[in-house]
Structure 1
Amino acid sequence: MSATSTAHMRNPNAREVVVTGIGLALPGVATYGDLLGPLPGEGIFDPATGLSGRELRHKDRASRLALRAAGFALHDAGLTDADATFTGVADSTAVVVSTNLGNVDSVCEATDTIARAGVMGLSPLGLPQTSSNVIAGWVAIRYRLRGPNLTVCNGVTSGLDALSWARNLIVAGRAEAAVVVGVEPANDVVTKVLGEQSTDAAVAVVLEPADAAASRGARPRATITGYARARNLAAALVSAGVTEEESVGLWLVDEAGARSGHLLAATRRIDLEAQLGPLSGALGVLQCAAAAAHLESGATGNVLATAGGPRHDATGALLLTPWPAIRPSTQERGQHP
């Protein structure tokens, strides 16, 4: 699949893939239900205390954020035991990470060291952090996940693309489950690249086939029904299967979507970046978490998540629908352990 092709078109015969776990490591947000606003004043994630601990030593900031979010998501999905050991099928569980600037600080530090002291000045402990796949690697190592392992870093749609890649791995039989992580760190290098203050943001979702989730008694939060990445929003919506006949109760937008008039004005819209600051590769996965919260809340209509637009090379559109077994009146939004 090329970067500009349709990533996924809805197929009624495809294996249904559902969200069964969600975890956040995001300052100002306690649970994924809080993404619907307003943000809480207590119970929030604090990077100063949340990113410490023996197992987080010698890791870059983005990897530590990702490990925290992944741990919460796997616990939420019922896939870890009391010792935080993974209890699923490790050989066929994939890790897909979305990040555009995750380890840019490590790369810059390494190049500065080479310029100043040559290659002999590099630290053996720091050099692995310059790999573009280091975050996905650490998550896999921590939970001994031996399925497909990859990083998506292709701009504003990368979070939505990562969800599509993970779904496709499951539908194709390459994986029986996937941990999808969207993460961007806050540091001086990222702030310089963005031209504004960066945001510590990590979110992880666990995807599984609906039948596998049902067999182990897991609770699906949402179904990933359609996805497309196309040249513009109109084409992406058509390819993703968004029609006027199926009501959209919530549209999760970025700046371009917030200005668009493609959907009815009555549709509720939420721009997570307007609330949380720049999210980059974490945006699409956070939108998926917010979609699950909306679908569990008893609100009507499906959820549409979009990213990209005229200022970017493409637009991504993800359609999420409620799982039939969800009964919002009796289900509570997930809480962190």
Structure 2
Amino acid sequence: MSDPITTPVRPDHGNHQHEDDLHENRAAGVAIVATGAITAQGAGAAALWDGARAGRVAIQQVQGLSMDGLSTKLGGEVGVPVRPRGAYRRPDGFRERAIDLALVAAEEAMAALPAGLVDPDRFAVVLGTCNAGLLSAREWLAADASGALPDRRLPALVTPQALAEAVAAAFRLRGPVLAVNTACASGANAIGWAADLLRQGRADAVLAGGSDALSDVVLAGFNSLQSLSPEPAAPYSAERQGLSLGEGSGMVVLVRSDLAERHGLTVLAEVAGYGLSADGYHVTAPHPEGLGAAGAIRAALGHAGLGASEIGYINGHGTGTPKNDPAETSAIRLALGERTAAAIPVSSTKSVIGHLLGAAGAVEAIVTANALAEQIAPPTAGYRSQDAACPLDYVPNTARPITAGAALSNNFAFGGANAALVLTRPQLRHRPPAPRREEVVVTGVSVLSPSGDGPSAAWQDFVARREPGGELAGVRVGQVELDPEPYLARRTRRRMDRLGVLSVVATAKALEAAGIEPGGEAARTVGVVFGTGTGPMEAMERFTVPVLGEGPAAADPAVFPNTVYNQAAGQVALHLGLRGPTSTVSVGHASGAAAIGYAADLLAAGRADVLVATATDTLTAQVARAYAAVGAASSRGAGGAADGRFLLAEGSVALVLERRSTAEARGARVLGTVLGYGMASDASRARLWDARGRGVERAMRAALLDAGPAAQGVGEIWLAAAGLAAADRAETAAVARLRADPALNASAPFRLHAPKTVLGEPMGVGGALCTALALHAGDGTPALVNSASLGGTHITLAVRAADAATTARESRILTEGESR
């Protein structure tokens, strides 16, 4: 057998299993072979573990930010110099601290891996973050508010994908490059997704973790919610007064366990499983009974194939707020059983470093892994007396020896997004059960676009070559006109932004199209994987600008919850009654495709029966100016000469995905099939496309490999092309090589469709929009759907429309009249 650490292998989507696991019907193990961290405890994963084990509180008076007007002066600030070796494009004299923190942690983790061991094309990055490049966004908004011209390099540092791509570029990692933004659950979600990539054969190694930096904006936000403690946080203790915010990054390198053994790598712990769920309860507060969080814990145990009695330690979410700690306690007792839960030591790392938001799950996973390795439960610092609502064993103040083969790490977030990780000791050689993989079908589609409501409206505009004719801040744009009634009443919408409103309406329409009543009983087990490229910029502007001008007193607690990227997914779950697995991905202009691919993988592996993949992006004047500043958006009037840039658009697209057996059991109409997908990155430090299109070519070939025999006879490619000349030329070169490849045995040249050159570039929605159109207009032959971020991350979906007879005529119109 060839060594898959350097040789690509076909993802495990059928009955194929690795030979050493076949007789046990077990999935491959996933090993943590290297760690890196920078926190208030100092630089290095060893400093983090030493401080956590000793219960040494590093929550102190913040030095780098003004704390005037806040209810606390304390935070888990990184006090050591943050000086990464890796470079990235940035304004002169400015650094994005969230990227710097991620690079420092990543450099430590990567240094522990033997050089050249893994092919860079097979090395992935999955990075979780809550606030992403918020300091860059703040710098842009501050300059604009003062009347100055913001630096045109700032927008490329703002989004979650910017962080992931900066890390990938620093190490020239050209595998899948993905960003997760499930707020405070992001780091745990990132590690779980990274483990999935390895088990599915999509990568041979993954650098995964999280990063977030302190800022005056975030401090003002939590202060407005009255969540900050004047003293260091004391989780679970009766005297607790709130949370302490922190900053930092934690990164791990994951490989398959058999490969770690083969190459003599030291294994700290193994990722046995993870679980995701949605509360669907409140935009900030957890469900008081812990119902959603308990669902994530149960899902993690089920994925790992472990029972509650096999958990020997829990690293709790433990924020120190009055509502979160009792809710988590209830969730642990509900998921594990009261008697079992009472016997398991639980501790909160946030008591010594503060709440690191999107980095929390990654940093706490590193602590949990060390706790298993050394068989020591680190303490909960600051614990003084028991709260009747928190009756578990919280390891107060002093570390304790344990006997644990498996441990649980919990992370819960705004919007009711929950994630739980299960780690095991490598000595156990535990392998989770192999899933019974199944085909994934599409049973509902909705499209909200500048063309109107539904895929037909967008299709007709594409065929007729009708471009949107709007303008915003001097930029050509296409905007969505929408009446949210009857899905959302006016009173309900008062605390929502357009990102949330469009997402709820699109998802509701897709559910209805699939025959699932929003808010009904059948919807309760449905989950949502949400994709967004630019995220909540409307809310971010509304919240940040007053804070910059007037300080924390101007922070609006009604707006602050909408500033996190996953808030729209939380609104979808809340208003439509969805309680299944939830995640938010933000992979730039490839976000919609990433959401569809991730949802399909979760379904194929039996992690859910029905999921909605929803992608939404909205426009503001600042967003339009930012795209113009980086040279991407066109300012030419409709009908003007091409200027090598794209018409900027917004939109929301939702697809209901199901396991085929589930769809058949309920008699659902199948619209199409997700055959597979592929991912690759150009990993350029200049954050530009590879001019030869090698990244997009690798993504297309990976999609064909993933789909296997089902992709034979692929007849068309829906291009990522949107009018941006440099990117379009690279894709054209890649497609030409694919067309000329005799190994594909194509009976005729691929038909090429470029709907975004007419309808506009809807940012992160593009891949989902093209998928919806491919299903609407498909002739029953397999199709590839390309997406690409502005930073050179490529995702290609392989899909097939279900009924060729009803769409053949429309397909001929497009092929003969409007294809290129």
Q: TM class by shorter-chain length?
A: 0.7 to 0.9
Partner SS state of residue 446, structure 2: strand
CA deviations on 1:226-257 (whole Å, 9 max, x unpaired) are 11101312222222126898222221111233
Q: Which has the higher contact order (CA 8 A, sep 6+)?
A: 1
Residue in 1 that maps onto 2:736: 261
Mapped to 2, the partners of 1:75 and 1:199 lie a distance apart of 25
The within-5 A match list for 1:46-65 is 47=481, 49-50=483-484, 53-54=489-490, 55-65=492-502
Q: Contact 1:229 / 1:314 at 8 angstroms: preserved in 2?
A: yes
Give the deviation of 1:127 after TM superposition. 1.1
Structure 1 residue runs without a partner (length 5+): none
CA, structure 1 residues 246+173, in 2 after alignment: closer, same or farther (shift >3 Å)? closer
2:715 to 217, 236, 249: 249
Q: Residue 18 of structure 1 contacts residue 224 of structure 1 at CA under 8 Å; is this kept in 2?
A: yes
The 3-state SS of whatever aligns with 1:19 is strand
Matches within 5 A, 1:131-210: 131-195=564-628, 196=633, 198-210=648-660
Instruction: Tell me, yes or no, if the aligned pair for 1:254 and 1:271 is still in contact at 8 Å.
Output: yes
Aligned residues of 1:170 and 1:176 also touching (Cα < 8 A): yes
Match in the other structure for 2:665: 215
**What is the one-letter code of the residue matched to 1:73?**
A
Q: Name the SS of the counterpart of 1:241 in structure 2.
A: helix
1:62 positional shift: 1.1
Identify the match of residue 312 of structure 1 among 791, 794, 797. Answer: 791
Shift of 1:115: 1.2
Instruction: Answer whether contact 1:9 1:226 (CA < 8 A) is retained.
Output: no
Q: Find the partner of 1:18 among 441, 463, 469.
A: 441
How far is 1:331 from its partner? 11
- Please, what TM-score do these two structures have when normalized by structure 2? 0.36
The answer as to 2:759 corresponding to 1:279 is no
| Residue deviations 1:251-276 (CA, integer Å, cap 9, x gap) | 11112335641344842222232122
Paired residue secondary structure (1:217): coil
The code of the aligned residue for 2:784 comes to L
* 3-state DSSP of counterpart to 1:18: strand
Give me the whole-angstrom Cα distance separating, in 2, the residues matched to 1:270 and 1:327.
17
CA distance in 2 between counterparts of 1:156 and 1:223 reads 22
2:509 maps to amino acid = F
Residues 307 and 317 in structure 1, CA contact (< 8 A), matched pair in contact too: yes
Match of residue 129 from structure 1: 562
- Aligned CA RMSD, in angstroms, stands at 3.0
User: Highest CA radius of gyration, 1 or 2?
Assistant: 2
C-alpha distance in structure 1 between counterparts of 2:584 and 2:448, whole Å: 19
* Per-residue deviation, residues 32-71 of structure 1 (Å, max 9, x unmatched): 1444444589xxx962534774233321111111111111
Q: Take 1:78 and 1:228, find their aligned partners in 2: how far apart are those partners?
A: 30
Deviation at 1:313, TM superposition (A): 2.9
Distance between the aligned counterparts of 2:453 and 2:754, measured in 1?
18
Deviation at 1:300, TM superposition (A): 4.7
Contact 2:649 2:760 in 1 (8 A): yes
| Cα pair distance change 1:252/1:327, threshold 3 Å | closer
Q: Is the 8 A contact 1:36 1:270 kept in 2?
A: no
| Correspondence for 2:94 | none
1:2 to 108, 125, 132: 125
How do residues 62-77 of structure 1 correspond to structure 2 at under 5 angstroms?
62-77=499-514
Please point out which of 543, 553, 570 is paired with 1:110: 543
| In structure 2, distance between residues paired with 1:190 and 1:171 | 36
How many residue pairs were aligned?
318
The answer as to whether partners of 1:9 and 1:240 remain within 8 angstroms in 2 is no
Find the aligned partners of 2:771 and 2:600 in 1 and give their Cα distance: 13
Deviations 1:261-305 (A, max 9, x none): 13448422222321221211101111221121123xxx2521110
Corresponding letter in the other structure for 1:85: G
Q: Contact conserved, 1:182 with 1:204, CA < 8 A, in 2?
A: yes
The runs of at least 4 aligned residues of structure 1 exceeding 6 Å deviation read 330-333
- C-alpha change, 1:168 and 1:74, in structure 2 (3 Å) is same
Secondary structure of the corresponding residue to residue 767 of structure 2 = helix
3-state SS of 1:25 partner: strand
Question: Any conservation in 1 of the 2:719–2:754 contact (CA below 8 Å)?
Answer: yes
Aligned to 1:303: 783
Q: Deviation at 1:75?
A: 0.6
**Alignment correspondent of 1:328:** 805
Structure 1 residues 235 and 189: CA distance shift in structure 2, 3 A:
same
Instruction: Give the 3 Å change call, closer, same or farther, for CA 24–329 of structure 1 in structure 2.
Output: closer
Structure 2 gaps, min length 5: 1-123, 127-173, 177-196, 203-435, 467-478, 634-646, 682-694, 722-727, 740-747, 811-820
- 1:167 to partner: Cα distance: 1.1
Contact 1:93/1:176 (CA < 8 Å) preserved in 2? yes
Q: Post-superposition shift, 1:332?
A: 12
How far, CA to CA, are the matches of 2:768 and 2:807 in structure 1? Answer: 25
Deviations 1:147-186 (A, max 9, x none): 1222111222221111111112212322221111111112
> Could you tell me which residue of structure 2 aligns to residue 88 of structure 1?
522
CA distance in 1: counterparts of 2:567 and 2:495, whole angstroms: 12
Secondary structure of the 2:508 match is helix
Any idea what the Cα deviations from partners look like across 1:206-235, whole Å, max 9, x if unmatched? 001011001111011111111110131222
Contact 2:442/2:672, CA 8 A, preserved across alignment: yes
